[in-house]
Chains A and B, each alone.
Chain A
């Protein structure tokens, strides 16, 4: 344990506190991958294209979306996302969403990082019946913790990492339409991920070239109405959410994620779905042009 702690402190102190440590959701020895159910705790130049969700059974719905994040300053970025949904043959456009996000903390020796963001779902930017006539705001807190600083006697647990997200969805308080028809929601979620790339480079070499890139993951995301309960579909403050077991293939400049989406109760839905995403890290693909902050 002494050896492990000493090594962590030495390496942490040898890394300069430059902005590079904040890019690409890297903190200390840990690389947090982009996740599907909740956001990762990093801010980097990246593109998710496409993100495809399919729910079968009686729902028969396919959503195709994209998300692009551009760093303005080191650790501070602006993202935009949109998409289209096809439900039983009818196609609608999702509302346009933007987020400003700041990565304000990275404790290298503890593989701990945190970011704060502010999302806006813009009014009247999607199809009628999908997009609202008022903006919807969401302050968001994202955190990530790697278990790499555990003692050597717990080596098998060191590739573990968890990420967390907490947010509140707030329909524009100045909109009478929102007050009459919508409600605030508290949203929270977490992921549990076991990084085989971390295992390969820290614990024991993995001979298989495919498995050394795999990160098994399960995501949990929940929502609960907290105001104007009578406006909710059930008229109650029942918790809804999903459990999403799956895996991520993490390459150097891109990753692919595939997860099942399992509703936690009937209020969430009755059909299991699947969600996949291809994700490109522009800070790695175009490090000298569009992959770096506009202002350094």
Chain B
């Protein structure tokens, strides 16, 4: 009696957890410029691709160069076609330097995650 009941429960949970209904802590899957990459020219924007939809108004992206915080993020929004992509428009092109992107993401189910990564714009 126990085993069929557990089996049904397992199947239900498996279906729900792999469906689009399931929400979760947003984890960074990829970025442009890529995590740890070296690029030749400054991007116009930073793109952060998460595992879940993001609430841009509750999320944050900060940028540091090798020594200081820099206020170079103009607008933060999600891609209109894909809420898992957070876009940080830059005010102006960045000079050659090492940059650290510090992000705080609030997923659409209000779970919070955070992280940071670096990329380099070579001279």
Contact = CB atoms under 8 A, between A and B. Distances in A.
A265 interface: no
Given A10-B62, A66-B6, A205 B24 contact: no
A285 B22 contact: yes
Interface in B85-123: 98, 100, 102, 104, 109-118
A108 to B, nearest CB: 8
Interface of B: 6, 9-10, 13-14, 16-18, 22-25, 27-31, 34-37, 51-52, 60, 62, 64, 66-67, 69, 98, 100, 102, 104, 109-118
Nearest to A155: B36
A6 B23 CA distance: 31
| B-side interface mostly | mixed
A252 B23 CA distance: 8
Interface of A: 2-3, 6-8, 10-11, 14-16, 18, 20-21, 23-24, 26, 28-29, 31, 47, 49-50, 66, 108, 152, 197, 200-205, 212, 252-254, 278, 280-281, 283-288
A278 B10 CA distance: 10
A285 B16 contact: yes
B36 A284 contact: no
Contacts of B67: 2-3
Contacts, number: 124
Contacts of A20: 110-112
A7 B13 contact: no
A50 B24 contact: no
Contacts of B98: 3
Given A7-B100, A252-B51, A287-B111, A200 B35 contact: yes
Contact of A254 (B17, B62, B115, B117): B17
A152 B118 contact: yes
B12 to A, nearest CB: 10
Nearest to A287: B109
A253 B114 contact: no
Nearest to B112: A20
Contacts of B27: 31, 197, 201, 252
